[in-house]
Chain A
Amino acid sequence: MNNATYIGIFYIFAAITVFSAAFVVFSKNVIYSAFALLFTFFGAAALYVFLSADFIAVTQVVVYVGGILVLLLFGVMFTNTIMKPDMKTDVLHVVPGTLLLVATVGGLLFTFYTTGSWKPSDVQLQGSVVERIGFETMSRYVLPFEMASILLLAALIGAAFLARYDKVRNNEQ
């Protein structure tokens, strides 16, 4: 488990995740941010595989990369004039934002690394979790599962209602 290849691959994916997340945040161009977010999501999916949550990793790729990222790109395309050469985004409150970033990350890391050590369980998650997720979904988590389906239906109707082409208002103008 703790051989050199494993550790090297972990650090590669950790670096991909963190640096592309930094690029998302510090890049001025919205399109660059969106494409850097792709690498962040893939890196996070790889980390999920390291955490032996293979089903979550696949869901992450399908939902985030296939759904949310495409939606965000649609949003960028809809709300910017493509012909305009600079799809730049301005910044405000940079100094308080940087202070908050440093304080949050520094505080969290200080807490993690100074307050004793974690006590991991003897029985850690091993192998694939797909079968166990199936069992859990249909037994302990059947109510949240159904609630999620209702929520998704409501979100579908709400999004379609909000973003539809408004004929009445268009005629009035």
Chain B
Amino acid sequence: MELFTNIGLNHYLTISALLFGFGLFAVMTRKNAIVILMGVELILNAANINFLAFSKFNGGMEGVMFSLFVIVLAAAEAAIALAIVINIFKLFKSVDVSSIDTMKE
């Protein structure tokens, strides 16, 4: 019962691994570009949980600072990606990533 009564590093790593796996699954299997972006956000959140967990149990501030920068980068990434998706929608009238095949022979 030690595993369930003592919240340690492995608990956070498990949650983070599950979030990462789900994000990867969304990026791989979805056709809608917006849902792919949601998968990327899940992956970034998983990385953040890892950073903060290791920072907590190491006692340093490195992980905390890095997770702050990860959030900043995620905001920039979401803004640019949404702009690109809206442009794709203007051109192709669809955000289905498998229908955008103009450069395919």
Residues of A bordering B, CB below 8 Å? 2, 6-7, 10, 14, 17-18, 21-22, 24-25, 30, 33-34, 37, 40-41, 44, 47-48, 50-53, 55-56, 59-60, 63-64, 67-68, 71-72, 74-76, 78-80, 89-94, 96-98, 100-102, 104-105, 108-109, 112-113, 118, 120-125, 129, 132-133, 136-137, 140-141, 144, 148, 151-152, 155-156, 158-160, 162-163
Contacts and interface: CB of A to CB of B under 8 A. Distances in A.
Contact of B57 (A33, A108, A120): A120
The residue among A24, A30, A136 with the most chain B CB atoms within 10 A of its own CB is A24
Given A47-B12, A91-B31, 4 more contacts: A64-B41, A75-B85, A92-B98, A120-B9
Interface of B: 4-15, 17-26, 28-35, 37-39, 41-42, 45, 48-49, 52-53, 55-59, 61, 64-65, 67-69, 71-80, 82-87, 89, 95-96, 98
Nearest to B21: A105
